Amino acid sequence: MGIADGRVVIVTGAGRGLGRAHALAFAAEGAKVVVNDLGVGLDGLPGPDSPAALVVAEIRALGGDAVAHGGDIATAEGAASLVSCALDSFGRLDTLVNNAGFLRDRMLVNLEEDDWDAVMRVHLKGHFLPLRAAARWWRAEAKAGRRVAARVVNTSSGAGLLGSVGQGNYSAAKAGILGLTLVSAAEMGRYGVQVNAIAPAARTRMTEQAFAETMAAPSAGAFDAMAPENVSPLVVWLGAEGSAGVTGRVFEVEGGRITVMEGWRPGPTADREARWTPAEAGETATKLLAVAEAPLPVYGAAD
């Protein structure tokens, strides 16, 4: 008996990296898993084969239950078929983990419109459409009087929290996921749906080059702080019934560290209850900035 025993869980982008780790971790805790992966390269273009079936085979070899889904979840049809796959295979849906993504990194002046659109499509639209499809089913279940204890875990990034040089498209998409998380948590709570987000740091296809340049490989037997499997325990807990009452939250997860992220809050304020002149507004803003906390640096910014 695991903490996700009997739950039906969808994980998008689950053929490799974090998604694969999440799928295996859920299965180890008793969940039935829909493993979604389109089988594309780092740039979002189709690859030679899809790894989703391999992950399903791993889960089944360990005594778990899983099915593969190879649809494009950044389309309405693909997102709808993803939810239908869970319902047709297992009769219900309890948890959605939105994880799929890829990179098209460029400095802003070199960032092409296609690179912007492609990253927005898979990250932001690829979160919205599966979430909408699942939420519609959960709302119908709740309105029919059936108990819903649904969970959604969205995947943001430190780039979405702080920004990252050379990743304007990715940072904007990941910041948008945080906004989507907060709104969907507020809207769907009445139907028994909890929505949270993680900002993970782990070694995956998307990050392995950056980590190779900045971190040495762990020695034999040492704790591998960048292993994607380190992130999955929190994701499984957020996707299980035991996380009741936790919604609209963002967690940073890296190695053995879990941090509750605290978002935008009002800082120093001045109110004259009348209109400022531009000079007065500038003078007041300067005084407020002098007593405000300095922002954390953007990833990759020069010292």
Active site residues: 157, 170, 174
E-only strand ranges, 126-249: 150-155, 193-201
Nearest to 254 by CA among 222, 223, 300: 223
Q: At what angle do helices 76-90 and 126-143 cross, to 10 degrees?
A: 50
Q: How far is CA 182 from CA 31, 59, 174, 196, 241, in A?
A: 26, 32, 13, 8, 20
Rounded Cα distance between 235 and 33, Å, is 14
DSSP 10: E
* Residue type for position 8: V
